[in-house]
Structures are given as C-alpha cells and as structure tokens.
Amino acid sequence: MSHLEIWIALVGMAVVTIVTRAFFLIAGERVTVPDRLQRALRYAPAAALVAIVLPDLLTWQGHFTLAMDNLKLLAGIAATAFYLVTRSMIGMIVAGMAVYTGLRLFG
C-alpha cells in the first residue's frame, strides 16, 4: 500500500466513524427509535463483549479447543462461576486472572 492509499483509508474510516456516531445528534428529535429497538439495544454491549472474549477463550495455541488443557477456557469458567455466586464484576476479573496465572505457573 502506498502512503496515499493509507491516508485515503484513514480519512475514509474517520468520516464513516464521525457520520455514524453523529447521526443521532445531527438528526435530533426528528428521528425516533421504536421502544422494541431501544429494549434490544440494551443487550448490544454484552453481545459485543461476548463476541470479543469468547473466541479468545475457545482457542488455545492458535487452534479451537474445548479440552482441559485450554487454560484460558478453564479460567473463564472459574471467573463466570465466581460472578454467578458473588455478582461482582471486578471480583470476576481478579478471580479469572488469578486462576489463569495459577494454572500457567503451577499447571
């Protein structure tokens, strides 16, 4: 890729980002979102997080695996169990990282 193509791509991505994020600000109250869509959009952050985290948990050394030697998956299961018991998001992160670190060091 030439320098010109890189700059065109960067400017294009910036324009697309600005337009999509500013659309509702520019449109103001003229655009109304149906209640059903508003309720559905509440789940978007959780769905995006799952879409980012789950592929990483299900791969080990570059391959998809559900085996017991997948330390990331085991740590994710432990973190999920911790969250279901305590409902503490920060505790879940700490527990998951502690289990993962322990498995890597002692496993």
Q: Is residue 1 part of a domain?
A: yes
Residue 1 has pLDDT above 90, yes or no: no
Q: Is residue 92 part of a domain?
A: yes
pLDDT of residue 49: 85
Question: What's the domain range around 9?
Answer: 1-32
Residue 30 has pLDDT above 80, yes or no: no
pLDDT of residue 34: 87
User: Is residue 49 located within the same domain as residue 101?
Assistant: yes
User: Is residue 58 located within the same domain as residue 102?
Assistant: yes
User: Is residue 22 located within the same domain as residue 53?
Assistant: no
Quick one: average pLDDT of 62-86? 91
pLDDT of residue 87: 93
Query: Cβ(60)–Cβ(70) under 8 Å?
Result: yes
Q: Is residue 37 part of a domain?
A: no
